[in-house]
Amino acid sequence: MLKDFTPPKEEDKSNLKAEIKALREKLLAQQQLVRSSALPVIVLVEGWAAAGKGSLINELISEIDPRFYNVTSPAIVPQSEERYPFLYPYAKAIPENGKIMFYDSGWMDGAVYKFLRREITKKQYKEIIRSVNEFERQLRDGGYLVLKLFLHIDSKEQKERLAALRDNHETEWRVTENDLWQHQEYNLFRDTYEEFMEETGKLLPWHILDGTRRRQSSRDALRLLTDAIDEGLEKGRYVGKPFKEEFDLLTMPKLSEIDLSPVIEEKEYKKELDRLQARLGELHNTIYRKKIPVILCYEGWDAAGKGGNIRRVARPLDPRGFDVIPIASPEPHELNRQYLWRFWTRLPRSGHICIFDRTWYGRVMVERLEGFCKEDDWKRAFNEINEFERQLTDWGAVVLKFWIQIDQDTQLARFTDRQNTPEKQWKLTEEDWRNREKWPQYEEAINEMLQKTSTENAPWFIIESNDKKYARIKTLKIIIKALEKACEGRL
C-alpha cells in the first residue's frame, strides 16, 4: 500500500480545474439532499504530518454551506492524562443526521501514536483496533456514510515540507514534537499505518491519496465523496442486519423462575446497611485514587424500587466523585445521532462512579416494543451493546448491571399506594399503567436481553425487590465485591 505506492501521473491542469469546479458544484447541490434525507456523513482524513490534510479539507468544504458541515481535530492526549476510553473523543464528535463531519486526523493517528510511544501494550493496541472496527461497523449499520482517506507523502517530501514550515515565523508553531519524531521514525510509522489500514480496511476501505499533487488529490477526494453521497442517497439510509453473536454469555434464569420471597429483617437490615455503606465509602476513596472508572446500570420494572436502591448506594459516596444520570426519552439532538451517542457523552471520567438510572438497554425494551426503532436495529443492538460494554471494560471500567425485579402483584400494590398517597402521586403516570398492560411483552423482551447481554466483563445481576430492603443489601454487596476485586492488583 504505502511502501510500494506509485504516485499517479501528472494530469493536465486545465482539465483538472474544470473537473474540480464541476465536482464542487455537485457537492453543493448534494448538500440539501443530504440534509433532507437526514444522511449523516463522516469523512476521516488521516495521513502524514505536513501531507496537507488541512488544505485538503479546505478544498472539500470551500463551496459548501458552513452550517452543513463541521471539522473536528481530536488532540492526541498522552495516556497518562486521558480520563476517557480511547474512542470517546471520536464518538463524541459524530455528526447529526444531515451533516458532514470532517475528522482532521482521527482514530488511526490516535491509536498509532499511543502504540508507538509505548503508552499502551500490544494487547491494548489490538483491542483498540478491534474497537475501531466495531465502531465503524456500528456507524455504518446505524446509517452513517463513512469515507476514509489517507494522504500520503514520502519521507523526502515530508522533510522538505517540515523544514519550510519551520523556516517561516508565522508557521513554525505548526510543527510539533510529534511531527518531528514521526519524520525521524518514518519507516516505523509507515509500516504501522499500513498494518492498521490492512486490519481496518475490510468493511470500509481506505483510499490512499497522493499528497504531492494537491489538485489531483482534491479532485480524487471530491469524487470519492460525491460518489459516496450519490450512492447513499440512492440506496437510502442503511440499516445494518443483525449479526451472529460472538460473545461468551453467562447463563441467566428466566424472570419467571426468580424466587421473589427473600426478605430481610429490619434490625439486620439497619446493621448491614451501615456496615456496607461504610465499606463502600472507603472503597470510593481507593477507586478515586487508583483512577478506576465505575459504571452502575439500573434497569427494572416501574415501582421496582430503583430510586431508593440508588439512593442507598449513593449515600456513602463522595459527591465530588459520582454522578447519577437519569435517562429519559432522547431529545431531538440525541435522536439525530447514533443511539449510543448520548451514553458515550455521559461516561464518567476515570476514578469516578456513574450510576445510570435506566440505560442504553432502552433500545431493546421500550424502543423495541413501542416501535421507536426498526426490527433490525434492536436485533443488532444486543451485539452492539456487548461491544460497547467490552470497550468500556477494556478501558478498565467496572461495569455492573442490575435488573430490579418484582412481580405484578407487588407492582399493583405499589401503584395503588402511590395513587392514594398525595406526596407520592407525582411518581405515578398514565404511562406506567400503559406499560403495565404490556407486562408479558416486556417480560419476553427482558428475558431475551438478559440471555444475550450478560457477559463475564459486564454481567447482569437480578435483584429480587419485592422486599426493597433485601434488594438494597444485595446490590450493595455485589458492588462492594466487584470493587474490591477491581482494586486488587491495580496501582
What whole-number distance in Å separates Cα of residue 106 and Cα of residue 104? Answer: 6
Is 79 near its own copies (CB under 8 A)? no
CA torsion, points 411, 417, 423, 429, in degrees to nearest 10? 40
Which is closer to its own copies, CB of 79 or CB of 171?
Answer: 171
Is 235 near its own copies (CB under 8 A)? no
Is 314 near its own copies (CB under 8 A)? yes
Is 484 near its own copies (CB under 8 A)? no
What whole-number distance in Å separates Cα of residue 489 and Cα of residue 412? Answer: 47
Q: Return the SS3 of 246.
A: coil
Which is closer to its own copies, CB of 170 or CB of 488?
Answer: 170
**CA dihedral sign, ordered 368, 372, 375, 376:** negative
Which is closer to its own copies, CB of 30 or CB of 391?
Answer: 30
Q: Cβ of residue 94: shortest distance to its own copies, in angstroms?
A: 16
What whole-number distance in Å separates Cα of residue 45 and Cα of residue 59? Answer: 12
Q: In what order do the strands lie in the sheet with 353-357?
A: 322-326, 353-357, 294-300, 398-405, 460-464
Cell 395513587, residue located:
419
Distances in Å between the alpha carbon of 54 and those of 103, 107, 207, 211, 488?
A: 10, 16, 17, 11, 46
Pattern 325-364, its own copies, x by CB under 8 A: -x----xxx---------------------x-x-------
Which is closer to its own copies, CB of 73 or CB of 133?
Answer: 73
Is 429 near its own copies (CB under 8 A)? no
What whole-number distance in Å separates Cα of residue 478 and Cα of residue 3? Answer: 53
What whole-number distance in Å separates Cα of residue 64 and Cα of residue 66? Answer: 6
Is 286 near its own copies (CB under 8 A)? yes
What whole-number distance in Å separates Cα of residue 264 and Cα of residue 266? Answer: 6
Give the one residue of 199, 318, 370, 417 binding its own copies; rule: CB under 8 A.
318
Stretch that binds its own copies, among 89-97, 150-158, 303-311, 379-387 (CB under 8 A): 303-311
| Number of residues that this document lists for the chain | 491
Is 320 near its own copies (CB under 8 A)? yes
Is 319 near its own copies (CB under 8 A)? yes
Give the one residue of 204, 324, 369, 413 binding its own copies; rule: CB under 8 A.
324
CB 406 within 8 A of CB 304: yes
Q: Cβ of residue 55: shortest distance to its own copies, in angstroms?
A: 9
| Range 256-285, binding its own copies (CB under 8 A) | 282, 285
Is 67 near its own copies (CB under 8 A)? yes
CB 297 within 8 A of CB 361: yes
Stretch that binds its own copies, among 115-123, 139-147, 167-175, 217-225 (CB under 8 A): 167-175
| Range 407-426, binding its own copies (CB under 8 A) | 423, 426
What whole-number distance in Å separates Cα of residue 419 and Cα of residue 403? Answer: 25
Stretch that binds its own copies, among 87-95, 123-131, 170-178, 454-462 (CB under 8 A): 170-178
**278: its cell numbers:** 461504610
Which is closer to its own copies, CB of 93 or CB of 120?
Answer: 93
Return the closest-CA partner of residue 301 out of 419, 406, 195: 406
Which is closer to its own copies, CB of 60 or CB of 129?
Answer: 60
Q: Return the SS3 of 211.
A: coil
Q: How crowded is residue 57: how many other Cβ atoms within 10 Å of its Cβ?
A: 20
Q: Cβ of residue 324: shortest distance to its own copies, in angstroms?
A: 4
Q: Cβ of residue 475: shortest distance to its own copies, in angstroms?
A: 14
Stretch that binds its own copies, among 6-14, 66-74, 106-114, 130-138 (CB under 8 A): 66-74
Give the one residue of 1, 2, 35, 415 binding its own copies; rule: CB under 8 A.
35
Which is closer to its own copies, CB of 333 or CB of 434?
Answer: 333
What whole-number distance in Å separates Cα of residue 377 and Cα of residue 141? Answer: 8
Give the one residue of 310, 399, 479, 486 binding its own copies; rule: CB under 8 A.
310
Return the closest-CA partner of residue 46 out of 200, 164, 175: 200
Q: Return the SS3 of 303.
A: coil
Return the closest-CA partner of residue 347 out of 280, 393, 383, 307: 393
Give the one residue of 307, 369, 394, 432 binding its own copies; rule: CB under 8 A.
307
Give the one residue of 12, 66, 122, 234 binding its own copies; rule: CB under 8 A.
66
Q: How far is CA 203 from the centre of its chain?
A: 18
One-letter amino acid at 108 equals: M
* Site residues for its own copies per CB under 8 A: 29, 32, 35-36, 54, 57-58, 61-63, 65-67, 70-71, 73, 102, 104, 170-171, 173, 282, 285-286, 288-289, 307, 310-311, 314-315, 318-320, 323-324, 326, 331-333, 355, 357, 423, 426
